[in-house]
Structure formats: C-alpha cells, structure tokens
C-alpha cells in the first residue's frame, strides 16, 4: 500500500493532500527511517509507521498564503460570513474557520477534494461541481470572499464576486499571471518568462478590479509560489459602487 494512502485511510492526517505534504517534509518514519516519497510501498501488517506533528496547522499548504494576507492587511473575519471560491482541499476555508468565521461556503467546480475536517465543520456549506458563475445562494450577503481559481482569468469571476458580496464586503483575490498574460509569454513549463511581465499583469488586473466596483486596498506578492512555480499576487479590495454586473 502507498504510504500517503495508508496515512489518510488511518486518519493519521486528515486528508491525502496533507499526508503527501507531511511525507515530503520529513514528518513520517517507517521502521524508524524517515521516508520522503509519498508513493513508498509499506506493508501495514509488518511495518511500523510513526508520524510527527504536521508543521503546517492547516489542511493545505496554500492556506499559509491567505493567513499571510489576513495578517498583513489586518482583515478581521471573526463572526463574518465568507465564501471560498475555488475551495479545492479547503486551505483558505480552514484559515477562515480558524480565524472565527461564522459561516463559510466552499464552492468548487471539482468534487471530492475538500478535506473531511472542513466538510464536517458545522459552519461549512459545501457546493461541489459548481461554477461560481452559476452560483446564486446568498447573493449580496457575504462579508468576505476569497478566490483562488485556475485555468481561467480571475477577471471572469470578478463580476460574480461583486454580486455575492454585501456592500462594503472584502474580497481577497489571488491573481495568477500565467492565466492573464497569454501563452506567448509562458515558457515550455508554463512559467511566465519574466518577472516584470508577471508584475505588470497583476497590476493591470488590479486596475480592472478597481473599475468593477471595488476600492483596491493593496496588491502584494504571495509569500508562497504556486504549485507550478509561478509567482502569484493577492489583490485585497472592498465592494463599493453600485453598478450593474
């Protein structure tokens, strides 16, 4: 049996994604030896598996991105209603819940990725196989919206973030330049060819957001690169103007 699968099935970590991360970071030992390969084959009947505490207190490493931004911009989510767009394993949702959010709607076009810990939290509502552009529940009522989407420009969902937030609500949008600059500006690995192009794309996207009924509080690089190695940027903004979207 694969080591990561064993760890998840025995609930030694609360998701397979978290188990993979723990193995790669040297937190798991098999028969006293540190194993860093998630696919390492073990024999549950005879092998002894020991786990150290997970060094990241969230279900996904990406959660550290949002935790950084909430702290940097002093964003208080205590007793707030929130929506996590592109929830995936629930890293952003975990940060929101641990920060005291009263309700978090987790929306994702995929399914089966959300960590059980998040899924079982009574403050969480799960909407899988759902495109945010078709999502109507709670329109105009959310205090905060967090968005981390892939394979499309964040610009395509900005109007929908607008209609979901209440007046004065906060949006924390992760801008991924690789989905903004066009293929000609990417290398063979899908990385934006130069940092200036990436930075300019992020700034232009923030300007678009500012023209879409939001007051931009700030834009900053994410403290952690995306899984593909690209530098990403956060745009923090507040819903202000009443416009038709």
Contact assessment for residue 126 and residue 112, using Cβ atoms and an 8 Å cutoff: no
pLDDT digits (tens, 9 = 90+) for 127-162: 999 999 999 999 999 999 999 999 999 999 999 999
Domains of the chain: 3-51 (3.10.290.10), 63-239 (3.40.50.150)
| Tokens describing residue 221 | 């690089």
Q: What is the pLDDT of residues 21-77, one digit of tens each?
A: 888 888 899 998 989 999 999 999 999 999 877 666 788 778 989 999 999 999 999
Length of the chain: 245
pTM: 0.80
Helix (H) or strand (E) holding 98: helix 91-98
Q: How far apart are CA 219 and CA 37, in angstroms?
A: 36
């Amino acid at each position: 049996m694969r080591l990561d699968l064993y760890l998840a099935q025995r609930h030694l970590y609360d998701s397979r994604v978290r188990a993979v991360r723990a193995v790669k970071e040297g937190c798991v030992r098999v028969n006293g030896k540190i194993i860093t390969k998630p696919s390492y084959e073990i024999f549950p009947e005879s092998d002894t598996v020991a786990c150290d505490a997970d060094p990241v207190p969230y279900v996904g490493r990406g959660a550290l991105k949002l935790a950084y931004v909430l702290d940097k911009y002093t964003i208080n989510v205590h007793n707030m209603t929130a929506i996590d767009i592109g929830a995936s394993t629930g890293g952003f949702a975990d940060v929101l819940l641990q920060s005291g959010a009263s309700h978090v709607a987790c929306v994702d076009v995929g399914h089966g990725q959300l960590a059980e810990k998040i899924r079982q939290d009574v403050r969480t509502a799960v909407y899988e196989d759902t495109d945010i552009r078709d999502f109507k529940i709670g329109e105009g009522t959310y205090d905060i919206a967090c968005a981390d989407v892939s394979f499309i420009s964040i610009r395509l969902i900005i109007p929908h973030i607008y209609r979901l937030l209440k007046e004065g609500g906060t949006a924390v949008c992760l801008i991924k330049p690789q989905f903004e600059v066009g293929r000609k500006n990417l290398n063979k690995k899908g990385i934006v060819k130069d940092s200036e192009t990436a930075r300019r794309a992020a700034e232009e996207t923030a300007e678009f957001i500012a023209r879409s009924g939001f007051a931009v509080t700030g834009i900053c690089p994410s403290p952690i690169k995306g899984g593909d190695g690209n530098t990403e940027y956060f745009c923090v903004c507040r819903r202000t103007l009443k416009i038709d979207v």
